[in-house]
Amino acid sequence: MECAEIMPQETPQVSKKTRRKFPIKRAVALVVAAAVVVGGGFGIKTLFFQNETQTALTETTTYGSLSTVIEGTGTTMPADSVTYTTASTTEITGVYVSAGDTVEAGDLLYTQDDSELDEEIEEYQDELTELQNTLSDASDQLSELNERLSDLKVTAPFSGRITDVTVRTGDTVGSGTKLATLVDDSKMTLTQYFSYAYEDQVYVGMKAGVSIASLMTTLDGTVTEIKKVDRVTAEGTRCFAVTVTLDNPGALTEGMSGAGYLLTDGGEKLYPAVEGTLEPYASEDITATESGKLTAVNVDDYETVTAGTTLFVIDGSDLEDQVETTQRSITQTQEKITQTQEKITEAEEKRSDYQVTAEISGKIIMVGVQEGEAPRQAGQTAVTLYNLDAMTITANIDELDIDNITMGMEVDITQSGAESDTHYTGTVTAISYEATNTNGVAYFPITITIPSEGALSAGVNVSYTITVGDESEGVLAPIAALKSTSEGTCLFVKADTRPDNAVDLEDGVVPDGFYAVPVETGVSNSQYVRILSGVEEGVEVFTRYQQAAPSGGDTTSQSGEEQEFQGMGDFSGGRPSGMEQGGGMMPGGNMGGGMPSGGGGGMNLSHRRTSAPAASSFSRKGAKV
């Protein structure tokens, strides 16, 4: 705890500084404990110190505030600044500013040869083309593999009857191996040859009749196909082929002979020069499209199936592995393409690092490049730009004060001059709640922004003053002088005559020459409490007793915890009447043995604290650094 300074000012102040927060409930508990200790103390005194005399110690009420002043110094840095660095070691092709120039956001600062970017982008473009070709090939391969996978299931191309099944489950087959035959004999066809003399009379859809000698029946048919072949009979007749299709009532089989004729629109019958035999409407050998082991044979000879029915299944595990590998390759290639495209985009964006413009308005502080010269290394500082409209300083606030600092709080800033000081009003714009420990004391950095409109330069030392706590003024009394009595919270006032508002207490409670005066209290800090009513400033009040040894002995005085409890006297009734919320009364509060009797209201009891040395180089790092 720092001692109060005595400073001649018109408006005295008392610090609100405390070493730790002291909750009201805890204060009440300590007060009750104090009362017990005090009672025990009186018993011990009666037993061992009957011959001792007691000296009443006093202090005087004063007038002031309960504020705390935090002071310190800091070095100004711009609230907004940018440092630009060279993009590479290529030649500086132009410099358009000098130190001290004022620029606006968007103004060109300097340019640098960016031909290396063109070469870099061209390499990425070549890489991208190669990757895209790889992706296209892999996609084609995947499509082929998926098609082959679908061929592993051999299905019926049309509805019909299965014959001549040649394999069983578990057999290994090669691509093209015959597995069975599928026949559609629900209809039959008869191909015959007619003389070209009838060429103009025959057409598809023409009605026909087919005589089956073995069945002794004639069935109706329709011309379904005409082929203009050139077949010559033994008699020398040139003929073309005509195919007639007819429904199979169930008795027609492949190879039966049929004598057919065609019916003209006039009802005339045209007979063929060469007759034919019946054939199924459709017949196809079912073959394996892939090599592998048959995992399923789903049909038997003479089984009727419909179009799309799965007849055979060939193991495709090898193909599935190839598909997975190809898909993985496609994914990896797509990722590489994306990465390469991002590299191209990044390279294009780098052009702004070669054509550098001001991101903020402000003043050019330094130019470190020259036109026609190449930087020694990439990242060399080229231009430093400060916006001097507002400056910042960093202040380290003691852990005991940080709770009193809030965002937006005003701060008095002073720049000392040879003839006069310049004052600014700053604002708290950032508060760190992570402490920095220095010599066993924790400090919290805060940022103070100073709107100076260019009047302050960077690197200038300034002092700051932050006032926290209640700045309103009133009558103040030492907390050690408050007494809790049966008549409420009182001050024992020293007076020659009884004050009008004095109250009577039981004998022995009030020291001789003092009167108990009820008071209404307000906010307080660790040492003082504001008196709202009951006494005025400049009144001498009792705080505690000092013990004097018997004649011939050494003088003794209470100290430590005894002083604190004795200072509270009979203040065992809890919180004093009228104490404002948030200004809890603290036990113990004598000022190193008490202020001299008769101290006047002209005393300055304001509390000043000097913050830890602040880091003076807080700055915003430029986006280009």
10 neighbors 606 (Cβ within 8 angstroms) = no
170 neighbors 258 (Cβ within 8 angstroms) = no
Phi, psi of 354 (to 5 degrees): -105, -20
Percent of the chain exceeding pLDDT 70 equals: 79
**pLDDT of the residue at 608:** 52
Least confident of 37-41, 107-111, 248-252: 37-41
Strand pairing class (607-610; 62-75) = parallel
On the question of pLDDT at 3 being above 80, the answer is no
For residue 449, give the 3-state DSSP assignment.
strand
301 neighbors 165 (Cβ within 8 angstroms) = yes
H or E segment and range at residue 374? none
**pLDDT of the residue at 111:** 96
Per residue in 316-327, pLDDT tens? 888 889 999 999
Q: What is the pTM of this model?
A: 0.47
**pLDDT of the residue at 24:** 35
* Residue 31 banded pLDDT, cuts 50, 70, 90: very low
* Residue 1 banded pLDDT, cuts 50, 70, 90: very low
CA distances from 330 to 146, 281, 336, 351, 608 (A): 14, 46, 10, 32, 72
557 neighbors 546 (Cβ within 8 angstroms) = yes
Per residue in 436-462, pLDDT tens? 888 888 999 999 999 988 888 889 999
pLDDT averaged over the chain? 81
Per residue in 171-230, pLDDT tens? 999 999 999 999 999 999 999 999 999 999 999 999 999 998 888 899 999 999 999 999
367 neighbors 95 (Cβ within 8 angstroms) = yes
Least confident of 306-310, 458-462, 505-509, 580-584: 580-584
**pLDDT of the residue at 484:** 92
* Residue 559 banded pLDDT, cuts 50, 70, 90: very low
On the question of pLDDT at 588 being above 70, the answer is no
On the question of pLDDT at 614 being above 50, the answer is no
Task: Considering only residues 419 and 51, tell me which one the structure prediction assigns the higher pLDDT.
Answer: 419
On the question of pLDDT at 571 being above 60, the answer is no
Per residue in 349-365, pLDDT tens? 888 899 999 999 999 99
Cβ atoms within 10 Å of 73's Cβ, excluding its own: 17
On the question of pLDDT at 528 being above 60, the answer is yes
Residue 459 gets the label, from left (phi > 0), alpha (psi -120 to 50) or beta, of left
Per residue in 428-438, pLDDT tens? 999 998 998 88
On the question of pLDDT at 372 being above 50, the answer is yes
* Residue 585 banded pLDDT, cuts 50, 70, 90: very low
Per residue in 89-132, pLDDT tens? 999 999 999 999 999 999 999 999 999 999 999 999 999 999 99
| Distance (Å, whole) CA 146 – CA 558 | 99
Residues whose CB falls within 8 Å of the CB of residue 174, separated by 6 or more in sequence, listed in order = 288, 291
| Distance (Å, whole) CA 316 – CA 151 | 10
Per residue in 216-246, pLDDT tens? 899 999 999 999 999 999 999 999 999 999 9
Nearest alpha carbon to residue 490 among 437, 535, 441: 535
Q: 3-state DSSP helix/strand/coil percent for the chain, to nearest 5?
A: 20, 40, 40
H or E segment and range at residue 320? helix 317-349
**pLDDT of the residue at 29:** 37
